[in-house]
Structure 1
Amino acid sequence: MDLSNMTLEQKIGQMFICGFHSLVPDDQIKKLIQEYHLGGVIYFRRNIGDPEQVAGLSASLQKLAADQGDLPLWIAIDQEGGMVARIDHKKMSRIPGNMSLGATGNPAYSYEVSKISAEELLQVGINMNFAPCLDVNNNPHNPVIGVRSFGEDADRVAEHGAAVIKAFQEKGLSAAAKHFPGHGDTNVDSHMGLATVEHNLDRLQQVELKPFIEAIRGGVDVIMTAHVIFPAIEPERIPATLSRSVLTGLLREDLAYDGIIVTDCLEMHAIAKFFGIGEGAVKAVEAGADVVLVSHTLSDQIEAIEAVKQAVLSGRISEKTIDNAVARILALKSKRLANLKTPDEPPVFRERHEKPEVDRLLKEVSLKSVTLVKDQGQLPLQPETPVLVIWPELRSETQVDEPWTEFVTLGDALSGHVEQVQEIVVSAEPDEEAIERVISVAAGFSQVVLVTYTAGSALPEGQRVLAERLMEQKHDKLVAASTRNPYDLNEIPSIPAYLCCYENTPYFMEALAAVLAGKNKAEGKLPVSLSVLGAV
């Protein structure tokens, strides 16, 4: 199919990526493909079973598009690694997250693990990954980026991000660098509200934009927009996604980017609540977006598609604008999807223990990532003395935090190094009753390891109170280990020992256990600044 023989409806359909809610093609996604000529699909956990199912789903969706005579679909996912991974299965590798990779100080690791991720995603029919995050996380109160960033240093983020993009695209997987022009220095989650970055253009050039400039230099296929206001670039109080000054003036003209611009999801409150889905879609296309993402609701998806069509028919958007966007879409699909073929037989997926070369690399990365920030004579633990591990359990799901279905707790991992381990599980937001229960148990232990977990912008109050109550007990050895955002020490500065893991995935719990037991040295370097730092 070429631009000259496409109807307006076909062209507009190619400009949308949408989600649906089942493990097989349901009425929602069938309608969008068959009636609206959808250009792409996004997967979430709700679409994921085992790899065989995902591969079958991808093939079924591609067949639906082919039967319509439409272009192959982009099949996209947010498989960032670490704490943001939609596919959680023993036959898929647990790729470390960005801050874990940043803590290694070695972009070669980012390249190598991203090659593994790309190979596995392509094997299940996914051809676009909404990654890497190129946000420079220099705001400890950022509730949505945090460990999704490589760190607070723009050069580090640029270097690691370029390595990920290179690995993905060498394998044939389109990378989508996000969230342009930078979501790192915000204290509002754009899923829930509108954030603003107040810095002047010089500062934006030196920090926020630097990783994206490097990505453009490296030929990144796709850049995803941020629903964030940048007054230095756009005088109106509108987010970058809807700003022509940002998407066309800055990204297209000043930075000379000629790839695909995709919006973040328009159902996020920063757009839906303040502008509306249909108007948001029209404004995004007017601003210069090529592809609009509407992830969840069929009525919102249809509203957005129809709004863009009506804007063209009314003359608000010129058909030339649509043609320019679709020409870029056709070029990328021709480059990445022209030889797309459904295999005659389903692919064979190996379990993790059957991939020793991958296992060795991921273990090495985790050991190079674990970071010792502070130790006042607490490490190593004594192997012959009982240890209490307090494990925080994530019991609620957010857009960027999803409980793992398969995990290894620190207690599980530490039991291989210490003679006697007792683990007590509490909510990541423990109430007073849970705190009292833990304190009562902890009174009988001389060695205690408190695992902390912060998904938002600050250590939950219950975890902070628990840490303070433990410090009052005067244990021989008391260690805190953060397993997500590294800023927890700012809330519990008197803790006598503190380590950072950046994620609570199995490889990292095994690596942390080895460090606690003195079997390995913590080699990671803190990729962000803490306002309170103990001596290492």
Structure 2
Amino acid sequence: MTKEREWQSWSLKKKIGQLFVFGFHGYEPTEQMKKLIAANGIGGTIYFSRNVKDAKQVHKLSGELQSLAKHAGSPPLFVAIDQEGGMVARLVKGVTLMPGNMALGAAGLAEGARETARICGEELRQLGITMNYAPCIDVNNNPENPVINVRSYSDRSDVVAELGAAAVAGYQAARVAATVKHFPGHGDTAVDSHHALPILLHGRERLDAIELKPFRAAIEAGTDCIMTAHVCLPALDPSGEPSTLSEEVITGLLRKELGYDGVVVTDCLEMDAIDKSYGPEQGAIKAIRAGADMVLISHTFEKQWAALEAVAAAVEKGDLTEARINEALDRIMMLKKKLELDEPLLPWTQVEEAIGTEANKAAARRWSEASVTLVKNEGSLLPISRSESTLVLWPEIVPVSVADEMLSGDGSLGSFLTELGANVVERQMNGVNPLADLECFSQIVVVTYDASKHPLERDIACEAVRLAPDRTIAVSVRNPLDLLLYPDVKAYLAVYECRPLALAAAAKALLGDLEPTGKLPLEISAAYPFGWSAAANG
């Protein structure tokens, strides 16, 4: 990238602005965001749930933000989002919500990862979203990982590599930049980098065999972007710097050794792993110096503004070279050109007809149903009878991201069973005496979300199994490792998210209307290894 580009003659301030992606609060551009665009010409923005009502509002917001950039004389913005599918999705209403990674891992076909990513990408692009911070290609090989878990396809690096590369192809076929994350790997951490700095002590041979393999595949697949992890790996950088700030990791390993020449974006610098030790100002300087092209600061205007000024001051003082700024800017502008960001949004009336279509919903449903995994069925407890009385015990914890779907009354497992003609009573686990009068029910379905983190889920499941061992079936609606906490249950069904699509599929499987074809995408135990299915092996 030595050839002179016209943007290399821009002012330093304008160049630096393009290296930042900033978030904001609200459904419309705030005065602070308007100032960041007008005064600094920032490179992009990111949507969180706080910015999203529904598809129509997002379409309008994207148009407003791009109008602000155009009025300021700046290049079009990257508009980014974390739309991984499943449990990590900022945009739900009015679009086709796809299954998440572990569900696709259970379905086990690259075609599923590619098709769901393509459809998701096509709908995002219609709404003016041009960069998806997905897929997550961390290898889920630590049961204690608090932040990756079902965001990973599998605990096998080969599976993650294959499905991750397929997803990259799907997103980019839709002209949305795929952003694989979190380099060089966040799957084997027991610490959430939102709250502290994880340290991985693996040697280089192990990292090559597991963590780095999916990233090599994504690079070969031509991923537009790679997001760094706030993770310390002494085998790669003995200094103790987080990978996001490490020249050895970004420039040495990713650029020189792995040969990646696309855009590198940081994870958010307001996460505690960076914010508490460095702050976004020094974090931004260090990240850019290390080789990152774009810096993500998701929340606080004062920190965003300070980071912009800090990077400019660092260049002026010689602590950061303008050549490094030009190099990053080159990659950013070439990607913007490739994505044709100056293409105007279609009118909402046309967009509305192109998103959330019946064909797209059918594809999402097909892959969600393909993920349903029958892990145990001792005593032939499944399928359950429609006519017999059934108690469904619902988890105490309802994730905020899906609360509106769950609490509306039409998004729980019990509601889907009832819709299919089952005789159901549904109770919240944290209600009064949820296990009262168990003798009145012929069938008991215990639903758990993440029982290792929520003791009441574990205790209720174990007690139901103890009191009614020959009538109790467990359904995991997130973490399949829940089986380890109530191992004596005789029947166990795993779906990998508690979105309505997965719950509808689980209801069909419980009633025998759907034959579970999914296979475990990770090892639960020696008895239930990777690839296990009671339907196939029982």
TM-based fold match above 0.5: yes
Paired AA for residue 262 in structure 1: V
Residues 425-453 of structure 1: CA deviation (Å, up to 9, x unaligned): 24xxx4xxx4x611115343231001100
Structure 2 residue identity aligned to 1:129: N
Alignment-derived partner of residue 43 in structure 1: 47
Indicate how the Cα distance of structure 1 residues 345 and 359 shifts in structure 2: closer, same or farther if over 3 A, else same.
Answer: closer
Q: Distance in 2 between matches of 1:273 and 1:473?
A: 48
Corresponding residue SS for 2:472 = strand
Which one is further off, 464-473 or 238-247? 464-473
Using the TM superposition, give the Cα deviation of residue 532 of structure 1 relative to its aligned residue in structure 2, in angstroms.
Answer: 6.3
- Quote how far apart the aligned CAs of 1:395 are: 4.4
SS in 2 for 1:437: coil
**Pair 1:420 & 2:420 matched:** no
CA distance in 2, matches of 1:316, 1:348: 47
Q: CA RMSD in A?
A: 1.7
Measure, in 2, the Cα distance between the counterparts of 1:449 and 1:119. Answer: 38
Alignment match, 1:156: 159
Q: How many residues align?
A: 521
In 2, Cα distance between equivalents of 1:419 and 1:497: 18
2:59–2:128 contact (8 Å) kept in structure 1: yes
Are 2:433 and 1:437 equivalent residues in the alignment? yes
CA distance in 1, matches of 2:14, 2:139: 37
Deviates more, 1:174-183 or 1:526-535: 526-535
Distance 1:466 1:487 in 2: 16
* Counterpart pick for 1:18 among 10, 22, 35: 22
Partner secondary structure for residue 395 of structure 2: strand
Matched residue, 1:253: 256
Distance in 2 (alpha carbons) for counterparts of 1:183 and 1:460 = 23
Contact 1:128 1:176 in 2 (8 A): yes
Tell me the residue number matched to 1:182: 185
Alpha carbons 1:390, 1:451 under 8 Å: kept: yes
Partner of 1:383: 386
Contact persistence 1:101–1:110 (CA under 8 A): yes
**Runs of 4+ more than 4 Å apart:** none
Partner of residue 115, structure 1? 118
2:459 and 2:377 mapped to 1: Cα distance?
Answer: 21
Distance 1:133 1:420 in 2: 40
Q: 2:71 aligns with which of 59, 62, 67?
A: 67
Partner of 1:521: 515
Give the Cα separation in 2 of the matches to 1:338 and 1:119: 14
- Whether 1:32 aligns to 2:36 is yes
Q: State whether residues 20 and 26 of structure 1, in contact with CA within 8 Å, keep that contact through their aligned partners in structure 2.
A: yes
Structure 2 residue 512 is the aligned partner of structure 1 residue 505: no
Amino acid at match of 2:331: R
Conserved? CA contact 2:230–2:243, under 8 Å: yes
1:403 Cα deviation after fit: 2.7
Equivalent pair of 1:453/1:485 in contact (CA under 8 Å): yes
1:471-482 alignment to 2 at 5 Å?
Answer: 471-482=465-476
Query: Which residue does the alignment assign to 2:531?
Result: none
Question: Structure 1's 235 and 255: CA in aligned 2 closer, same or farther, altered over 3 A?
Answer: same
Measured against aligned partners, the alpha-carbon deviations of 1:269-312 in whole angstroms (never above 9, x if no partner) come to 10001221211111111111000000001011111111111111
**TM-score, with length taken from structure 1:** 0.94
Which residue does the alignment assign to 2:11? 7
SS of 1:196 mapped into structure 2: coil
Query: Measured at CA, do residues 218 and 396 of structure 1 come closer, stay the same or move farther in structure 2, by a change above 3 Å?
Result: closer
Q: Which runs of 5+ in 1 are unaligned?
A: none
Give the whole-Å Cα distance in 2 for the aligned partners of 1:220 and 1:502: 26
- Aligned residues of 2:22 and 2:298 also touching (Cα < 8 A): yes
Which digits, 9 at most, give the CA deviation of each residue in 1:234-273, with x for residues without a partner?
Answer: 1011210011100000000000100000000000010001
Match of 1:406 in 2: 405
Question: What is the alpha-carbon distance in structure 1 between the residues aligned to residue 522 and residue 399 of structure 2?
Answer: 26
In the alignment, what sits opposite 2:490? 496
TM-aligned CA deviation for residue 459 of structure 1: 4.1
CA contact (8 A) 2:138 2:185 kept: yes
The Cα of 1:511 is off from its aligned counterpart by: 1.2
Letter in 1 for 2:490: P
Name the counterpart of 1:450. 446
- Distance in 2, Cα, partners of 1:356 & 1:26: 35
Q: What is the CA-CA distance between 1:508 and the residue it aligns to?
A: 1.2
Q: Which residue of 2 aligns with 1:363?
A: 365
Secondary structure of the residue that 2:352 maps to in structure 1? coil
CA drift at 1:171: 1.4
Deviation at 1:189, TM superposition (A): 0.6
- What secondary structure sits across from 2:313 in the alignment? helix
2:280 maps to 1:277: yes
Distance (whole Å) between structure 2 residues aligned to residue 45 and residue 261 of structure 1: 24
Residues 459 and 489 of structure 1, relative CA distance in 2, 3 Å threshold: farther
Shift of 1:482: 0.7
- How far apart, in 1, do the equivalents of 2:405 and 2:232 lie? 38
> Displacement of 1:3 after TM fit?
2.0
Distance 1:254 1:350, change over 3 A: same
Which one of the candidate residues 75, 81, 90 is aligned to 1:77? 81
Contact 1:493/1:532 (<8 A) preserved = no
Q: Once the 2 structures are TM-superposed, how far is the Cα of residue 338 of structure 1 from its aligned partner?
A: 4.8
| Cα distance in 2, alignment partners of residues 217 and 250 from structure 1 | 15
Deviations 1:398-418 (A, max 9, x none): xxxx23423521101111344
Work out whether residues 374 and 498 of structure 1, in 8 Å CA contact, stay in contact via their aligned partners in 2: yes
Are 1:40 and 1:73, in contact at CA under 8 Å, matched by a contact in 2?
yes
Give distance in 2, aligned partners of 1:364 and 1:442.
35
Q: Distance between the aligned counterparts of 1:266 and 1:36, measured in 2?
A: 19
The structure-2 alpha-carbon separation of the partners of 1:471 and 1:345, relative to structure 1 and needing over 3 Å to count, comes to closer
TM-score (norm 2): 0.94
TM-superposed deviation, 1:355: 2.5
Question: Matched residues in 2 for 1:332 and 1:497: separation?
Answer: 50
Q: Is contact 1:88-1:406 (8 Å) kept?
A: no
1:478-498 per-position Cα deviation (integer Å, ceiling 9, x unaligned): 111111111111111112211
1:24-423 alignment to 2 at 5 Å? 24-89=28-93, 91-343=94-346, 347-350=350-353, 355-377=357-379, 378-392=381-395, 394-395=397-398, 397=400, 402-407=401-406, 408-423=411-426
- Cα separation, 2, equivalents of 1:442 and 1:38: 60
**In structure 2, what is the Cα distance between the partners aligned to 1:270 and 1:347?**
43
1:160 is aligned with what amino acid? Answer: L
Aligned 8 A contact 1:88 1:404 in 2: no
Comparing 216-225 and 339-348, the one that deviates more: 339-348
Partner AA of 2:138 in structure 1: D
One-letter amino acid matched to 1:47: N
Structure 2 unmatched runs, 5+: 529-533
Identity of aligned residues (%): 45
Offset, 1:531 = 2.8
Q: For residues 209 and 476 of structure 1, do their structure 2 counterparts lie closer, same or farther at Cα, with a shift above 3 Å needed?
A: same
CA distance in structure 2 between the partners assigned to 1:393 and 1:125 by the alignment: 37
